[in-house]
Amino acid sequence: MELKITCIPGDGIGPEIVAEAKKTLDAVAEKYGHDMHYTDILMGGASIDVHGVPLTDEAIETARSADAVLMGSIGGDTTTSPWYKLAPNLRPEAGLLAIRKALNLFANLRPAVLYEELAQACPLKTDISARGFDMLIMRELTGGLYFGERKTVEENGVRKAIDTLTYDENEIRRIAIKGFEIARKRRKKVTSVDKANVLDSSRLWRAVVEEVAKDYPDVVLEHMLVDNCAMQLVKDPAQFDVILTENMFGDILSDEASMVTGSIGMLSSASLNDTKFGLYEPSHGSAPDIAGQDKANPIATILSASMMLRYSFDLDKEADAIDNAVKQVLKDGYRTGDIMSVGCEQVGCKKMGDLIVERIK
């Protein structure tokens, strides 16, 4: 199979971790007989330095012509970098917002996995962390409160702010379909999270999700109110498979879920449109303080590459090879500095990539 991938190394540790992810993809391609074709583009601070803007139209078109996009990290030190003296629409992160909009990336996927070997990093009680968990939060990314009409007015001498939460059934249906399709690749359970006891938008959300569920009789659907879900994430995270929810709830719950893993350097993510196309990136930032020092943890980006194989190319066997290689490296006791623990061997970014490649082969 021929895979056309646009790579965005980005800023900070981005080039280092993307290089290791490409290394693992090349190992998979060699083992399973695929052809990888990479094209690099600039985005974020790297693009500002060359082009004066965080993302060019030409870069967008290059990304659009690919089958998928693999990204490192965007941004720098907000207190010292000259990038943050620019207008907000010219700062590094504006490039990320622009590419999401240009490519219609409405579905955000944030896995939260607690590996047995990293259970000691979990802040939850031992009897909870011992069970482990492997969930995926599917967040609607382009609608809801963040994109509704907003204004601040003054009435009778009192300032009043108005934010509008709006969803139509088509926006809900397309994210629900993505959720159920991905649940089929996992453990076939969807927990749809809303606030249907209060909000009209949530009542419509629940109704449309139930309509979509009829086309997926092999997937179990349950509904959960968002406040209960927040509690259940720290009480019994092992119960969740795919959590499907709207933009603001997903923003909050995905951060909570990542925190209970205890190791953000391990967390991948993806943003998908209504085709198989997706942008895949680690959940962590650019870590400019360790850039260029071979200290970065490449695992989140490597796992993002695994998600790309699974969700954009339907190469589940190849994705499993990467996932299993990561697990084996951790089981063998290798750690980067951010996840280091007593009794393990600390390695750098490049060495971690090499170890994962060895286990793929």
Give the active site residues: 146, 195, 227, 251, 255
* Residue 163 in tokens: 């934010």
Q: Residue 155 belongs to what H/E stretch?
A: strand 150-155
Q: DSSP 3-state assignment of 182?
A: helix
Single-letter amino acid, residue 301: T
String of DSSP letters for 200-242: HHHHHHHHHHHHHHTT-TTSEEEEEEHHHHHHHHHH-GGG-SE
String of DSSP letters for 33-89: T-EEEEEE---THHHHHHHSSSS-HHHHHHHHTSSEEEEEE----TTT-GGGGS-GG
What is d(CA 8, CA 301) in angstroms, rounded to the nearest whole number?
12
What is d(CA 233, CA 259) in angstroms, rounded to the nearest whole number?
10
The residue among 190, 175, 186, 168 whose CA lies nearest residue 274 is 175
The helix-helix angle for 247-261 and 226-235 (nearest 10°) equals 10
What is d(CA 202, CA 208) in angstroms, rounded to the nearest whole number?
10
CA atoms 328, 191, 270, 84: torsion sign: negative
Residue 287 near residue 89, CB atoms below 8 Å: no
Q: How many Cβ atoms are within 10 Å of 327's Cβ, its own excluded?
A: 16
* Residue 225 in tokens: 């109110």
What is d(CA 117, CA 246) in angstroms, rounded to the nearest whole number?
32
Residue 142 near residue 278, CB atoms below 8 Å: no
What is d(CA 68, CA 310) in angstroms, rounded to the nearest whole number?
12
